[in-house]
Amino acid sequence: MAAGAELTPTSYMTHHLTYLTTSLGEGAFWTLHIDTLVMSVLLGIISFGFLWWVVRGATSGVPGKRQAFVELSIEFIDEQVKSTFHGDRHAFVAPAALTVFVWVLLMNTMDLLPIDIMAGFYGLLGIHNWRSVPTTDINTTFALALSVWLLMIFFNVKVKGLGGWIHELVCTPFGKNPLLWPVNILFNLVEYVSKPLSHSLRLYGNIYAGEIIFLLIGMWAATGLAGTIFGTMLGAGWAIFHILIVTLQAFIFMMLTVVYLSMAHESH
Amino acid sequence: MNINFTLFAQAMAFAIFIWFTVRFVWPPLLRAIEDRQKTIADGLAAGERGKHEMELASHRSADLVREAKQRAADIIAQAEKRATEIVDEAKAAARDEGDRILVGAKAEVEQEVFRARETLRQNVADLAVAGASKILRREVDAKAHADLLASIKAEL
């Protein structure tokens, strides 16, 4: 809890929703959310380090339980990619999908950490503002979505050539007639703007809303013992339901990535 | 909703993690999985082939057993035939030998009989001559009547 300040619902919420920031230069843009970056990189190193560790000792003979688990995850991703993407998926798209799924899943899962206990833990380390869930930071989701968007454009140009891509922007989806060109361009513009927006905001909205609801439930503890017990039950229920949301959102984010990338590979 | 430099930092981290997965995580595991799939497929094929070969071998062994039985039966039949032949030959040889011995014995017996008869005849002639000489002591001269005596001896 913020030291010395009077504890109101607003200050409680604000406290939990404030980033640990550092400034790298002049202006608001050069702010860096240390908590977001550290948590996400830490989770990435743990998860991909684990995968790497398992894969390094992987045998083509009888797999151990650990290897079987990793293989199960990879085959799951591979199945999903195979049904959507028709091409050499092993070169890039499938491993990228694995990266997205594992990373986003773990970042979302941080939402299940009990916020007030974690705040106490960070307080012991001398940190007052620390947000554990990187995907509740719009910067993270936009970073992922824009990276995918850039990859999308990259593959568009790579597969169809620059001319082919521009031709597609101008002549689809309505037709080649020059009268339809403006409509086509407008349509594609809307599509190219809406893709990263919906891609990132969907994830951000779901996980951020989940965190807000945890905070609201946490406030029941302020109403006495009965309220605390009620809040605990509500919190447990929401956490169990949230397991579904966490996984589902990671899966949706991965599937959209795969769909966008495979659309970039295919001509209309 | 404050977009700031964190976005670029996150995008950079994302790019590094994608690169890491594409480079170090995905290919080795995929290779392991594909190798295993191949091993299993080969094993199944080998099992199928083994089953087929076992079937063939069992057919072949049944054929061999049947042939061996046939040959054994042939050999037994041949041996029996040969045994019968040998017995028959032995019988024939024994009969011949018996006959020969019998003939020899008969010839010997006849010779003996002939010799005994000769001896007996001689003895009887001598006895008759002796008797007659006793009876006719004086009148009969052995030298003078030698012809007579010889003719008597031949009649006996």
Name chain B contacts of A63, Cβ cutoff 8 Å.
Answer: 32, 36
Angle, CA A47 vertex, CA A41 and CA A51 arms, to 5°: 135
Are A134 and A110 spatial neighbours (Cβ–Cβ below 8 Å)?
yes
Residue A4: pLDDT over 50 = no
Count of domains for chain A: 1
Name, of A117-131, A166-180, A226-240, the range with top average pLDDT: A226-240
Contacts of A30 in chain B (CB under 8 A): 4-5
Closest CA of chain A from B34, distance in Å: 8
A12 belongs to a structural domain: no
The pLDDT-based confidence of A3 (bands split at 50, 70, 90) is very low
The residue of A147, A149, A200 whose CB has the most chain B CBs within 10 angstroms, and thus the best one to mutate to test that interface, is A147
From A95-109, A163-177, B53-67, the region with the lowest mean pLDDT: A163-177
Query: Can you give the pLDDT at residue B55?
Result: 96
Q: Are the C-beta atoms of A2 and A117 separated by less than 8 Å?
A: no
Instruction: Please answer whether residues A196 and A148 qualify as being in contact, where contact means their C-beta atoms are separated by less than 8 angstroms.
Output: yes
Let me know if A139 is a catalytic residue.
Answer: no
Active site residue A129: no
Question: Which residues, in sequence order, are bridge partners of residue A32?
Answer: A22
Neighbours of B53 (CB within 10 A): 10
Average pLDDT, integer, range A3-27 = 75
| Cis geometry, peptide bond prior to residue B27 (ω within 30 degrees of 0) | no
* Number of residues assigned to chain B: 156
For the segment A83-100, the average pLDDT, to the nearest whole number, is 91
pLDDT for the residue A221: 79
Contact by Cβ (8 Å): A218, A231: yes
pLDDT of A240 reads 94
What average pLDDT is seen over chain A? 88
pLDDT in tens, B63-121: 999 999 999 999 999 999 999 999 999 999 999 999 999 999 999 999 999 999 999 88
Q: Which of B2, B3, B20, B21 to mutate: most A Cβ within 10 Å? A: B21
- How far apart, in whole angstroms, are the C-alpha atoms of residue B105 and residue A239? 132
Contact A58 B29 (CB under 8 A): yes
Strand ranges (E), chain A: 21-23, 31-33
Number of A to B CB contacts under 8 A, please give it.
125
Domain spans of chain B? 47-155
- Model confidence band, residue A6 (pLDDT cutoffs 50, 70, 90): low
- pLDDT classification of A13: cutoffs 50, 70, 90: confident
A125-160 residue pLDDT tens: 888 888 889 999 999 999 999 999 999 999 999 998
Task: Give A217-223 contacts, CB < 8 A, sequence gap 24+.
Answer: A218/A12, A218/A115, A218/A116, A219/A9, A219/A12, A221/A116, A222/A7, A222/A9
Tell which residue, A183, A71, A45, has the closest CA to residue B17: A45
Q: State the Cα–Cα distance between residues A72 and A54, nearest whole angstrom.
A: 13
Residue A231 has pLDDT above 80, yes or no: yes
User: Is the complex ipTM higher than 0.90?
Assistant: no
Range of the domain at A206: 23-265
Q: Is residue A2 part of a domain?
A: no
Amino acid B139: pLDDT: 64
| In a domain? residue A201 | yes
Global pTM reads: 0.74
Q: Is A58 helix (H, G, I), strand (E, B) or coil?
A: coil
Of A210, A225, A241, A253, which Cα lies nearest the Cα of A77?
Answer: A253
